[in-house]
Amino acid sequence: MKTTTKRRMAQAGAALLALGLAAGLSGCRDSRSAAVDSQEAPEVNIIVGGLEKVIYLPAKLTEGLGYFEKEGVKVNLLGEQSGATAENSLLTGNAQAVVGFYDHTIDLAAKNQCITSVVQLANIPGEAEVVASSKAGAIKSPKDFEGRNLGITSLGSSTDFLTQALAGQAGVKAYTPAKVGAGQTFIAAMDNGGIDAGMTTDPTIAQLVTTGKGKVMVDMRTEEGTKAALGGLYPAASVYMSCDFVQKNPKTVQKVANAFVGALRFINGHSAAEIAAKMPKEYANAGADLYEKSIADTKAMFTKDGIMDADGAKNVLRILDSYSSNVKGKGGSIDLSKTYTTDFVSKVPSS
């Protein structure tokens, strides 16, 4: 079964399950939404699409710096390996926020779900397409994806969206998306020949390159690399919530925004070593030096103020409308103004 059919069947099933759960639990979600702002110490569950990934570093850093506590909000950070599974927790009301890629808000808008980014952590993906060193001679660009096994975290994830975009722009008709997660499972898949190349983040990128197992082919950890690969900026890591929750709990959302923007300012004002020192030691399981390198290679991706790049948001919609099997042909009906807001980050105190 080729790529398009396989993906559509899997995504259709996942989408129906997620939307069914969301509908079944909507009453529960609405009652929770209405209650949070009225709590003396509001509590928020935030799902992170990979707590150990450097692209989502602000979540654990904000906690480590004590900024949630300073704002008087109790935040429970819960890890998932994929943004696709994280968004399901949001839809079912088991979480009030997700730290994941902005493109999920557009993907869900195409399914008539209103989700909005309240803090834009990065305006580039921080991802790279890494090819196995043994295949680097044959796979030199996305044009060589035809018939290949390409690693993604899961179907419907942002790594899936980005892979579809790279392949589509290169005119590739068929490849096999392989769900290999991130970290050690991604590395193992490359080691055993399960994937020829794949989309991943640091510290996985640093581990593959340092050990000689992989080579970066398309680097979207910089603005230049992102623009070359995707024709413009591609706002990615963000804090997104349901529109319903945001409308009913503006005080709580403001506290969360204040905390995250504080962490962004810390990132922009400190070295990779200083940032690494505030992170859980187990995140550096491949070595402290390698972890610092991962942060140093990636930290420039983070915004200083949490503000969305408006042209970048338009570029995400353009790409998904052109290449995403979920969004294609629906872009004209999607209201971008509902997929992100700058109302909260614009009100964050200057110090």
Q: Of 86, 103, 213, which Cα lies nearest the Cα of 163?
A: 103
Residue 5's pLDDT band, with cuts at 50, 70 and 90, is very low
Q: The pTM is what?
A: 0.87
Task: Determine the Cα–Cα distance for residues 101 and 87; give it in Å rounded to an integer.
Answer: 10
Residue 257's pLDDT band, with cuts at 50, 70 and 90, is very high
Q: What is the mean pLDDT of the chain?
A: 89
Residue 315's pLDDT band, with cuts at 50, 70 and 90, is very high
Average pLDDT (327-350) is: 96
Residue 9's pLDDT band, with cuts at 50, 70 and 90, is very low
Residue 34's pLDDT band, with cuts at 50, 70 and 90, is low
Q: Which of 39-53, 113-127, 185-199 has the lowest average pLDDT?
A: 39-53
Q: Which of 1-10, 45-54, 133-142, 180-189 has the lowest average pLDDT?
A: 1-10
Task: Determine the Cα–Cα distance for residues 323 and 330; give it in Å rounded to an integer.
Answer: 11
Residue 23's pLDDT band, with cuts at 50, 70 and 90, is very low
Delineate the domains of the chain, giving CATH numbers in brackets: 3-124+235-347 (3.40.190.10), 127-230 (3.40.190.10)
Query: What was the pLDDT predicted at 295?
Result: 95
Cβ 256 vs Cβ 118: under 8 Å = yes
Q: Over 114-155, what HEC string results?
A: CEEEEEECECCCCEEEEEEHHHCCCCCCHHHHCCCEEEECCC
Residue 22's pLDDT band, with cuts at 50, 70 and 90, is very low
Residue 14's pLDDT band, with cuts at 50, 70 and 90, is very low
